[in-house]
Amino acid sequence: MKLTKRRREALVGYLLILPWIIGFVLFMAYPLYFSFYMSFNKVLITPYGIETHYLGWSNYKDAFLTDPEFSQKLFLFLKSNVLMIPIVIVFSLFVALLINQPIRGRGIFRAIFFLPVIITSGEVVQELFSQGAATIPLIEKYGIVTMLQDNLSPAWADPIVGVINQFILILWYSGVQILIFLAGLQKVNTQVYEAASIDGASPWVIFWKITLPEVKPFILVNLIYTTIDLFTNGFSDVIKLIQDNMFKTDTGFGYASALAWIYFAVIFVMLLIIVLFFRNKERGVPAARR
Amino acid sequence: MASFHGNKINPSRFGLGQLKFYAFLIPLGLFMILPIVFIFSQSLKPLNELFLYPPTFFVHKPTFENISRLLSVSDITAIPATKYLFNSLIVTVIVVILSLIISAMTGYALSKKKFKLRKVIFEVNTIALMFVPAAVTIPRYLVVERLGLINNYLGHILPLLALPVGVFLIKQFVDQIPNELIEAAEMDGAHDLIVFWRIVLPIIKPAMSTVAILAFQMAWNNTETSILYMSHETLKTFAFYMTTLTTTIGNNVAGQGLAAAGAMLMFVPNLIIFIIMQSRVMDTMAHSGIK
């Protein structure tokens, strides 16, 4: 049989992703399916193997109705992340713009701002956080925290204070994002900038009219990356709760799985909102320009 | 607006106009270096400084006591520390190389090859990123057990290979390569392997280096596979060894010093890899011929 070009291309494509698919099915897809199944069961780990009793939705109901901590922690975490994500994005775009400038020592600065990649994924950040090195003492000293608590309802003051307390931590979560933005910035043709500045555009105008539209697809990539990064790192209180529940005898793996799936659903919905919001805007912008 | 010229990394002259950038870059840069200074300073602190309240950031009277105690403790355990180190090295090297190859192939195929499932697969990959890793611990153990990987080097390696972050990042970078470039190469008679090797790989070097750093850290700092899948002590990794040293032997006041020294020793290889890789990470897009 002679292969058409399209057939051949598809075949090559499948061959290239084959190792990934095998690994994925074995170590991600099947475990995910299994944990989904377990989330509807009471799971007991006995010396003779795993015993399951079918429970229906009751693990999920318990999570919201009887668990004193879960929904509260989930909600608080969600709120603080809604605040943190834009900060990470703006900060990393800002830094990417700066280190894209032709300045002396640019190579060194690029290395420095990429350092977070090795800080945040290891034990290092855990250690730092437990030592209280991630807070800014100045803020507490000048009473910003108490000012916020006095003026805002506790429902919003708490997450904002949380963000302030973790501000340095936020900066450390921006390594990969800076890299992605930098790649986007370097794709912009420098002649466009030159043409614009010859036409008398100020750097401010150039940023809004040329740079920002060019890096827009990268903003979406970074939003997705940041959301996932913040939600799945070891700092999440919700993840800690899930891990605690996993080996408790009265709740167990089934309940922990149910919590994990609820958490997953929350992240998923959040990303869906981000993507939809972005797609709408994408469509809106060229129309407005015309 | 002369400042928009060119792609040279360091301009030859230092002008006053650059000063405003430094005003932001230097303070922010200092924040970024702090954790690394901290981890070293912490490991050099004598015990009385480790327990100071409020804790100090910098060490006042640096001492190598913690580190030398850590090394002397490791002399008396039954299995030499070098055995664990050897295991870690093998596992880490294999994981980094294989996961790079797999992520690059997958990312390239998902971005540039047209086939039915490619959108679905990329979405599935992104969704997999979102899942809490802890929740699949038990089912993963069952898979590893059934594949006969318990007490087998492959048990350290295989579960780490399908790296969703890697595929995600590499695909985003391959997307930036214009199709015309690949088509032109094909027109000149380059087959898939050559296109991949000569055109795609050089362009996505920054992404590859990033993935290499991430994969290295994941493999090097990994204790989970040692705890769950390996019951023979001789098969466990250095990261595991460090945690046992600092938790079992050092589970007391004096142990804090050991823990700090252990954290530092574990961190140093990460830093070395970072220093080797970072120049490639940040600097290649501009020279890669895509605009």
A128 and A165 both lie in a single domain:
yes
Tell me the pLDDT band of B291, cut-offs 50, 70 and 90.
very low
A224 and A271 both lie in a single domain:
no
Domain-embedded: residue A25: no
Domain-embedded: residue A177: yes
A87 and A98 both lie in a single domain:
yes
Residue A202 Cα distances to A97, B115, B215, B218, angstroms: 15, 45, 42, 45
Residue B81, classified by CB atoms within 10 Å of its CB into exposed (0-12), middle (13-18) or buried (19+), is middle
Tell me the pLDDT band of B103, cut-offs 50, 70 and 90.
very high
A257 touches chain B (CB under 8 A): yes
Instruction: Supply angle C-alpha B246, B249, B251, rounded to 5.
Output: 70
Range of the domain at A256: 36-64+252-290
Q: Which stretch of B77-81, B98-102, B155-159 has the lowest confidence by average pLDDT?
A: B77-81
Encoded amino acid at A283, one letter: R
Tell me the pLDDT band of B142, cut-offs 50, 70 and 90.
confident
Position B4 scores a pLDDT of 44
Kindly list the residues from chain A whose CB atom is less than 8 angstroms away from the CB atom of residue B270: 118, 122
Position A132 scores a pLDDT of 54
Tell me which residues of chain A have a pLDDT lower than 50. 138, 284-290
Q: What is the mean pLDDT of chain B?
A: 78
Restricting to A residues 105-164, those with a Cβ less than 8 Å away from any Cβ of B are 105-107, 109-119, 121-125, 127-128, 131-133
Position A130 scores a pLDDT of 59
Position A193 scores a pLDDT of 81
- 3-class DSSP state of A252: helix
Highest mean pLDDT among A94-108, B11-25, B248-262: A94-108
A55 and A106 both lie in a single domain:
no
Highest mean pLDDT among A36-50, A176-190, B6-20, B241-255: A176-190
Domain count, chain A: 2
- Supply the CATH classification number for the domain B80-287: 1.10.3720.10
Position B100 scores a pLDDT of 92
Q: Is the model more confident about B49 or about A37?
A: A37
CB contact under 8 A, A125 and B35: yes
CA-closest candidate to residue B89, choices B243, B269, B278, B291: B269
A157 and A204 both lie in a single domain:
yes
Domain-embedded: residue A53: yes
- 3-class DSSP state of A73: helix
Task: Choose among B130, B217, B266: nearest Cβ to A228.
Answer: B130
Region B5-26: mean pLDDT is 63
Instruction: Answer yes or no: is the ipTM higher than 0.90.
Output: no
Residue B269 Cα distances to A259, B197, B211, B275, angstroms: 36, 29, 16, 10
Q: Which stretch of A138-142, B75-79, B122-126 has the lowest confidence by average pLDDT?
A: A138-142
Please check the confidence at residue B154 and state whether its pLDDT lies above 60: yes
CB contact under 8 A, B213 and A107: no
